[in-house]
Chains A and B, each alone.
Chain A
Amino acid sequence: MPLPRDQNHQPDSVDHGTHTVIAPVRDLAERAITGGSAKDVDAMLAKAEQNLASLKKDFPEWMATEFAGLEAAWDNYKGKAPGSKALMFRKVHDMRGQAATLGYPLAGRAADGLCKLMDTLAVVPDSVVEAHIQTIRVIIRENVNVEDHPVGVMMIKALDKLSYDLIQQALKARG
């Protein structure tokens, strides 16, 4: 059971006029750092990996749910619903972060490319967004779990080229 933090304890500080440096608060170290060998740490990591492996059977279903959320956000975004751009960005960002953890690294790469475009350009053409969504759809449907899947890699390269051209055009237009 974690111990309650001592709210009255104030760490030492040194005032330098323009800034104050406050000494590191070491209460967590004092409470939770303990002796142990590299073997103990390896055992902890192995147990964590084992827990993660026990979830893996659910990953395809989780990805399908996440993708359904992304598609719904895309429908709203296309329909120009209020607040739909922020939601769309969040869903693409979620896909970018989660896909590799859930075993779909190429879907993560496609989402990463779309995230960067949305972050860089004021407007991303619908056709370009659709191309990214379509790639993610195929990767999930075909259960592409490896990073070097030849067709998957080819699709990602095509998206990268599309994004590169679009950014170059935008830069040119800006002069």
Chain B
Amino acid sequence: MRVDFAKLRFLIVDDSQFMRKVLKALLHGFGAREVLEAEDGATGLETFMTHGPDIIILDWEMPILDGLEVTRMIRQPTTSVNPFAPIIMITGHSEKRRVTMAREAGVTEFLVKPISSKGLYDRILTVVAFPRPFIRTKNFFGPDRRRGSVNNYAGPERRKGGEAEVIKMRPLLEKTRKT
């Protein structure tokens, strides 16, 4: 199984012309033909609304609108041309807090710089071949933030929105004990 890049339209939004050149070189190497570029968040959003790219590759720190703000606008179900569009955020931020912020905004995949061809290919393969379900709550619309199901999860139930509700689960150890 592989991705046929010639059948996809990409949008790179990064304020660094050099990073855009690097990303474009990699995408063309994979076989992509249509690679659109924008040098700031506002232009990126406009290009997204006008050209409807299939996959957005987005930087975090940018002038005018940053990557999180662009993501939130793309994920507006009533106004966006494609609120389901996969967003791959490429950034130097690697702190867990930052990754969580990106997920909360609706980012699909996260790739920490330095960029490698393998890392980029793998993220694109993931969003194309294994798309995640989307979740809509009162205050979130975006890809399911859960990577898998945890049977003994005892933390707050974020999907309920508003007040956090703790769902108590029996610990696994207790479950395995014979009664």
With A90-B63, A93-B61 already in contact, the answer to whether A24 and B131 are too (CB < 8 A) is yes
Tell me whether B16 and A45 are in contact (CB under 8 A). Answer: no
Binds A, one of B42-50, B113-121, B148-156, B170-178: B113-121
In the complex, whether B164 has a CB less than 8 A from a CB of chain A is: no
Tell me whether B2 and A20 are in contact (CB under 8 A). Answer: no
Smallest beta-carbon distance B57→chain A, Å: 13
In the complex, chain B residues 77-103 whose Cβ is within 8 Å of any chain A Cβ? 81-82, 84, 86, 90-93, 95
Most buried by B among A11, A20, A50, A119: A20
With A32-B4, A101-B113 already in contact, the answer to whether A22 and B136 are too (CB < 8 A) is yes
Q: Which residues of B contact A41 (CB under 8 A)?
A: 2, 121
In the complex, whether B128 has a CB less than 8 A from a CB of chain A is: yes
CA distance A128 to B121 in the complex (A): 38
Smallest beta-carbon distance A41→chain B, Å: 5
Tell me whether B129 and A33 are in contact (CB under 8 A). Answer: yes
Q: Which residues of B contact A136 (CB under 8 A)?
A: none
Smallest beta-carbon distance B74→chain A, Å: 13
Tell me whether A101 and B127 are in contact (CB under 8 A). Answer: no
CA distance A66 to B22 in the complex (A): 15
Tell me whether B19 and A98 are in contact (CB under 8 A). Answer: yes
Tell me whether A94 and B61 are in contact (CB under 8 A). Answer: yes
CA distance A62 to B17 in the complex (A): 9
With A21-B133, A98-B19 already in contact, the answer to whether A47 and B25 are too (CB < 8 A) is no
Tell me whether B18 and A18 are in contact (CB under 8 A). Answer: no
Tell me whether A97 and B54 are in contact (CB under 8 A). Answer: no
Q: Which residues of A contact B144 (CB under 8 A)?
A: 21
Tell me whether A66 and B16 are in contact (CB under 8 A). Answer: yes
Smallest beta-carbon distance A60→chain B, Å: 12
Tell me whether B1 and A49 are in contact (CB under 8 A). Answer: no
Among residues of A, the one whose C-beta sits closest to the C-beta of B128 is A28
Tell me whether A48 and B18 are in contact (CB under 8 A). Answer: no
In the complex, whether A151 has a CB less than 8 A from a CB of chain B is: no
Tell me whether A19 and B160 are in contact (CB under 8 A). Answer: yes
Interface 1/0s, chain B 14-39, versus A by CB < 8 A? 01101101100111111101100000
Among residues of B, the one whose C-beta sits closest to the C-beta of A94 is B16
In the complex, whether A25 has a CB less than 8 A from a CB of chain B is: yes
Smallest beta-carbon distance A69→chain B, Å: 9
Tell me whether A45 and B8 are in contact (CB under 8 A). Answer: no
Tell me whether A18 and B137 are in contact (CB under 8 A). Answer: yes
Q: Which residues of B contact A112 (CB under 8 A)?
A: 92
12 CB-based A-B contacts, threshold 8 Å: A19-B160, A22-B136, A24-B134, A32-B3, A34-B2, A34-B3, A40-B2, A44-B30, A45-B29, A52-B29, A90-B63, A94-B92
B contacts, CB < 8 Å to A: 1-5, 7-9, 15-16, 18-19, 21-22, 25-31, 33-34, 52, 54-55, 59-63, 81-82, 84, 86, 90-93, 95, 113-115, 117-118, 120-121, 127-129, 131-137, 144, 157, 159-161
A contacts, CB < 8 Å to B: 1-5, 7, 11, 13, 18-26, 28-29, 31-36, 40-41, 44-45, 47-52, 54-55, 62, 65-66, 89-90, 93-94, 96-98, 100-102, 105, 108, 111-112, 115-116, 119
